[in-house]
Structure 1
Amino acid sequence: MKTAIIHDWLTGMRGGEKILEKMCRLFPSSDIYTIVWNKGRMSSEIESHRIITSFIQKLPAGTSKYRYYLPLMPAAIEAFELRGNELIFSISHCVAKGIEKKPGQTHICYCNTPMRYAWDSFGDYFSPRRNFFTWAAMSFFRPYLKWWDKSTARGVDYFIANSRNVAERIKRHWGRDSAVIYPPVDTQFYTPSPDVSSAEDFYLAVSALVPYKKIDLAVKAFNMLGKKLKIIGTGPEADYLRKIAGPTIEFLGWRDAESIRDHYRKCRALIFPGEEDFGIVPLEAQSCGRPVIAYGKGGALETVVNGETGVFFGEQTENALRGAVNRLEQMEFDAARISSHASKFSDENFNAAIKKFLTNHVPGFYE
Structure 2
Amino acid sequence: MRVAIVHEWLVTRAGSERVVEQLLQVWPQADLFALIDFYSEADRAHIGGRHARTTFLQNFPGARTRYRSLLPLMPLAVEQLDLSSYDLVISSSHAVAKGVLTGPDQVHVSYVHSPIRYAWDLQHQYLRESGLLGGPKAWLARWLLHRIRIWDYRTAAGVDQFVANSEFIARRIRKVYGRDSVVVHPPVEIDAFPLQEQKQDYYLCASRMVPYKQMPLIVEAFAGMPGRRLVVIGEGPELQRVRALAAPNIEVLGYQPHAELRRHMQAAKAFVFAAEEDFGIMPVEVQACGTPVIAYGRGGARDTVLPPESSSHPTGMFFEAQTVDAIRAAVDRFEALAPRFSPQACREHALQFDEAVFRRRIAEVVDEACRRHPRFSRQTATAQE
2:7 and 2:93 in contact (8 A); partners too: yes
Compared CA separation, residues 38 and 314, structure 1 to 2 (3 A) = same
Shift of 1:249: 5.2
CA–CA separation in structure 2 for the residues paired with 1:204 and 1:229: 6
2:160 matched residue in structure 1: 157
1:335 matched residue in structure 2: 343
SS in structure 2 opposite 1:141?
helix
Deviation string 1:320-342 (CA, Å, 9 cap, x unpaired) is 22332333234322111111122
1:220 and 1:245 in contact (8 A); partners too: no
Matches within 5 A, 1:46-195: 46=47, 48-127=49-128, 130=131, 132=133, 135-193=138-196
CA–CA separation in structure 1 for the residues paired with 2:8 and 2:220: 32
Tell me, which stretches of 5 or more residues in structure 2 are unaligned? 309-313, 378-385
Matches within 5 A, 1:257-276: 258-276=259-277
2:288 and 2:346 in contact (8 A); partners too: yes
Deviation string 1:261-306 (CA, Å, 9 cap, x unpaired) is 3332122322221112222221111111111111111221121112
Computing the radius of gyration from Cα coordinates, the structure with the larger value is 2
Compared CA separation, residues 47 and 230, structure 1 to 2 (3 A) = farther
2:311 matched residue in structure 1: none
Q: Which amino acid aligns with 1:276?
A: E
Deviation string 1:94-142 (CA, Å, 9 cap, x unpaired) is 1110111245221100111211111122233321674557654422222
CA–CA separation in structure 1 for the residues paired with 2:201 and 2:63: 41
2:195 and 2:347 in contact (8 A); partners too: yes
Q: Which amino acid aligns with 1:318?
A: V
Q: Which amino acid aligns with 1:158?
A: Q
Q: Which amino acid aligns with 1:9?
A: W
Alignment size in residue pairs: 357
CA–CA separation in structure 1 for the residues paired with 2:64 and 2:46: 21
Shift of 1:90: 0.5
SS in structure 1 opposite 2:367?
helix
Shift of 1:260: 4.0
SS in structure 2 opposite 1:357?
helix
- Using the TM superposition, name which of 239-248 and 288-297 deviates more: 239-248
Tell me, which stretches of 5 or more residues in structure 1 are unaligned? none
Q: Percent identity?
A: 34
Compared CA separation, residues 108 and 262, structure 1 to 2 (3 A) = same
- Using the TM superposition, name which of 283-292 and 131-140 deviates more: 131-140
Shift of 1:3: 1.5
Compared CA separation, residues 178 and 300, structure 1 to 2 (3 A) = same
SS in structure 1 opposite 2:36?
coil
CA–CA separation in structure 2 for the residues paired with 1:43 and 1:259: 24
2:214 is equivalent to residue 214 of structure 1: yes
TM-score (norm 2): 0.83
Compared CA separation, residues 148 and 345, structure 1 to 2 (3 A) = same
1:124 and 1:212 in contact (8 A); partners too: no
Compared CA separation, residues 352 and 147, structure 1 to 2 (3 A) = same
2:383 matched residue in structure 1: none
Shift of 1:357: 1.8
Shift of 1:251: 5.0
Deviation string 1:120-179 (CA, Å, 9 cap, x unpaired) is 222333216745576544222221111111111011111111122211211111011111
1:356 matched residue in structure 2: 364
CA–CA separation in structure 1 for the residues paired with 2:22 and 2:329: 38
Deviation string 1:69-103 (CA, Å, 9 cap, x unpaired) is 22221112112222322211001111110111245
CA–CA separation in structure 2 for the residues paired with 1:200 and 1:52: 50
Compared CA separation, residues 198 and 5, structure 1 to 2 (3 A) = same
Compared CA separation, residues 229 and 120, structure 1 to 2 (3 A) = farther
2:8 is equivalent to residue 2 of structure 1: no
Compared CA separation, residues 96 and 220, structure 1 to 2 (3 A) = farther
Compared CA separation, residues 220 and 319, structure 1 to 2 (3 A) = same
Shift of 1:203: 0.9
2:293 and 2:315 in contact (8 A); partners too: yes
Deviation string 1:219-261 (CA, Å, 9 cap, x unpaired) is 44345556433224x6xxx1243244335353543744x4443
1:200 and 1:268 in contact (8 A); partners too: yes
- Using the TM superposition, name which of 101-110 and 280-289 deviates more: 101-110
CA–CA separation in structure 2 for the residues paired with 1:142 and 1:39: 28
1:27 matched residue in structure 2: 27
1:30 and 1:49 in contact (8 A); partners too: no
